Structures are given as structure tokens and as C-alpha cells.
Structure 1
């Protein structure tokens, strides 16, 4: 039970970073739904059917009062071979689900064959974690040794390590990213970390299949910038983040418009896009 609570708390913070980070770096590609009609309005919350519930979010879109029931459902941190049983994620396209991705995910998992944290992490009695982004706020802060003191260090996207150990530390437990955010130089990757995909669009799963099977990555596969063509990790060191946590962070914690589980241009549900 202690491990489940820890994993839920970790994913709560992690998915907030992922959703907000992806919104920031790709906002120029999107035409998001209008959040507010004027400076005095509030963001409305929606239930699973898209019905308005009330003004539970502040002007920045964050939940005003944290619900203790959030993430109470025991969910695997990573997708495993039972992913088809999760009705909650089968109903939505990426990034909030896996609709239409069954064959790609099955092909990936048939090779990776690992779906949990490493035994070393599972055996830790005290688990303290820290999440490090790639915004540059740690430059010249000399916090590297303090970061390395944490049991689990999660780095997002291309957050650098080599050459910046004094400021950002040298330990990496999980590196969570998507194709456009992944480091493109193999020598930049850490030897002992897990590589975790946060799939924001269907092309991301296709890209991971290329990586796992060591196939040629095509630059014309719908990416909005150049992507890594190789990740120096063996298949058992690769995971897929469960979209359930992105879904909860986006709709419940941040209060994004439900829009039938799509983020898109305009108000019609038929104009949704699978990218945040």
C-alpha cells in the first residue's frame, strides 16, 4: 500500500509537469479552446460526460481544493500487457488514452517485456523523489549534490546532466519524454535510467516502435520538429507512461475543457486534435 501511495503522489506531480511543459513548448502549434470570456471569469469544471459542474478552478486553471480521492484508483504506473482492460483509457485518443494504438502498443510491449519500476526501486524503504525539468532555472545554483540525495530523480525531456552536474546532479532514475522532447545525441543519455514515453499523439507510439525495433525513423511522420533517431536503451529499459495519469492531471487538476476527450481548434468535437 505504501508503494501505491508513493507512486500516485509521484505521478500527480509528474503529470502536472508533463502537461504544462508540453503546453508551453508546443503552444505555437495549437489553437486552444478559449479558457475565459473576460478577466473576471472563472474556468468551469466538467464531469466525464462533459457536463458543467461549477467554478472549482482559479483563473490560471488549477484546482482550488485538492480532492483526497484523486488517484485513489490503483493504476499501474506504466502500460502492461493488460492495457486493453482499462476502459478509462480505451475511450480516448492520445494523450488521454490509447484509442487506435492497440497494435502499436502490443508490438512494443512484446519486446520490452518489463512494466514495473526496477527491483532496486521497489525495495527502497524510504522513497523521496524530485522532478527536474529543462527550463534552465537551476543554472549556477550549485544544487547538484542536494538533488542526488533524493532516492528517485525524474528528469523531463532533454534536461541535461553531463557538464552540469554541479547544478543539476548526476543521478537519473526516470527520464520521461516524447519524441520532439527527447535528446537527439545518444551520448547524452544516462546509463542506468529508465526511458519512459509520455505519448501525446499517435505518432509518438509509432516512433517508440521504431526505437524499440531499431528501425529507421522517418522525419516526415508528423513531428513538428526533428526527433531522436536512436535511444541508447535496451527494450527492457523502456516503458510507456499510463495515459490515465495524464488524463486525471489535465481534466481534474488543471481543468482543461473536456471537449469529448480531445484538445483542438474551435468548439466542435469533430475538430479535435490528439496533441495538447
Structure 2
């Protein structure tokens, strides 16, 4: 379990930097003066070795798409690694799961806005009684992890969630936790994770074998809310 948590935390932090680089680079023609001052103090993403590898392509997309995931896997070398670092022996599971999702978009509403603030909120309980909810909600992109609760803890952790990373053993199953404005991101560690998602999307009986604890038996999120994280991100973050 500890390995899962470390990997998903690294993925969240890496997604933060991917978003940071994408959002800072969306518009080179106009940037508010105060943001330009901040930008000049920030080391360019492309000069950092880990991100240079990730962002050497014209436009890196963190989520897999049904139409071209095999091509992307070949481009990034993910077809040479097994999960969680690639899809060498799991491509068919990826294909089936992706075929049931309605979107692989990052987000549309920020496409033409040059600068956005991102924050990653963990679920270790360190925010208890810190009353940082309002501060967290002031960020444009809020990334949360696993089943770290929001409901009932708004004063400490805020109300909004842009992205929530999860795996089958860590996802919410109670509908009261579903925010329709949240995009949830499956971080697949093993083929069972993709099979689990496919079975839920198809309404089939869930096979719970192969999980370190019982996974969720119902899906509170709609297909349009769900994305699958590119294993290349996990591989790059881990190495």
C-alpha cells in the first residue's frame, strides 16, 4: 500500500508540473505585468532534466485517448514496459477501458488563459484545524488524491476539486462525495485496475481478485468525468 501511495503522490506532483508548464506556455503574446515579473523569476520548465524529457514533444497530453493511445505508447516507449510504467502486456485492457470513456480532454475553459495557479492537496490529515480551505479554493487548479474528503472539512481543505487521482482501492463509493465538476484520474498500477474500471462501466459483476484490499463495487462518477493517466508520467516521475 505504501508503494501505491508514493506512486500516486509522485503522479500528482508531476501532474502539477505538467499543468504548470502547459498553462504558463499557452499564450506567449500577452501576460499580465505582475505575472510577467513572476514568470521571469521561474526557471523554465524545459531546462529541468525530468521535465525536458516529458515535454520534448510539441504538446504533451497527460491523459490517454482511445484514438491514438497505441501511437502515443510507441512514441514515449510505453510499449516496452509493463504497468505501472507502460502497457506492454496490457494494451487490450487500455483499449477496452478507453473505449467506454467519453472524453480525454484536459480542460477547455482554461485553453486560452495564460497563467493559472495549481495546488496539490494530499490526504494525510496535516490540514486538520489549519483553516486553509479558503486559501486552497483561491487556486485555479486543485489536485486532490485518493479518497481525501472534502465534504464536512471545507474549512480545512476547501470546497473545489479540479482533478482527483485514484486507484480502485482508494476511490469514493458513496455518491455524496461526487462533485460533477471534478475530473477523476485513474492511476493504473496493474491490469486488474483497468479490468475493474471496464466492469464498472459495463455494469458487470466486479471481480475483486488481485487487489490488496476490496475495491469499490460501484462507480459514483459519470464516464465524462473519468480519465486514465498516461503510464509515461508514472515512469518519468519514478525515475
* C-alpha RMSD of matched pairs (Å): 2.3
TM-score (norm 1): 0.65
Task: Give the equivalent residue in structure 1 for 2:216.
Answer: 228
**Distance in 1 separating the partners of 2:236 and 2:90:** 20
Matching residue within 65, 69, 72 for 1:83: 69
Contact 1:15 1:246 in 2 (8 A): no
1:208 aligns with 2:194: no
**Distance in 2 separating the partners of 1:124 and 1:229:** 39
Task: Give the equivalent residue in structure 2 for 1:150.
Answer: 139
Deviation of 1:218 (Å): 2.4
Alpha-carbon displacement from aligned partner over 1:127-146 (angstroms, at most 9, x marks no partner):
11111111001110000000
**Distance in 1 separating the partners of 2:222 and 2:52:** 37
Specify the SS of the correspondent of 1:120: coil
Task: Give the equivalent residue in structure 1 for 2:126.
Answer: 137
**Distance in 2 separating the partners of 1:208 and 1:110:** 11
Task: Give the equivalent residue in structure 2 for 1:246.
Answer: 234
1:13 aligns with 2:13: yes
Task: Give the equivalent residue in structure 1 for 2:85.
Answer: 96
Q: 1:111 to 1:153 in 2, by over 3 A?
A: same
Q: 1:192 to 1:214 in 2, by over 3 A?
A: farther
Matching residue within 56, 72, 93 for 1:73: 56
Contact 1:157 1:176 in 2 (8 A): yes
Q: 1:222 to 1:162 in 2, by over 3 A?
A: same
Deviation of 1:205 (Å): 0.8
Deviation of 1:92 (Å): 0.8
Matching residue within 155, 167, 172 for 1:183: 172
Task: Give the equivalent residue in structure 1 for 2:186.
Answer: 197
**Distance in 2 separating the partners of 1:218 and 1:242:** 24
Structure 2 gap segments, 5+ residues each:
1-9, 17-46
Contact 1:176 1:196 in 2 (8 A): yes
Alpha-carbon displacement from aligned partner over 1:54-112 (angstroms, at most 9, x marks no partner):
xxxxxxxxxxx952624232332101121111221111111000122222221222221
Specify the SS of the correspondent of 2:87: coil
Q: Which runs of 4+ in 1 moved over 6 A?
A: none
Deviation of 1:180 (Å): 1.1
**Distance in 2 separating the partners of 1:14 and 1:135:** 19
Q: 1:193 to 1:123 in 2, by over 3 A?
A: farther
Specify the SS of the correspondent of 1:125: coil
**Distance in 2 separating the partners of 1:118 and 1:138:** 28
TM-score (norm 2): 0.74
**Distance in 1 separating the partners of 2:96 and 2:109:** 27
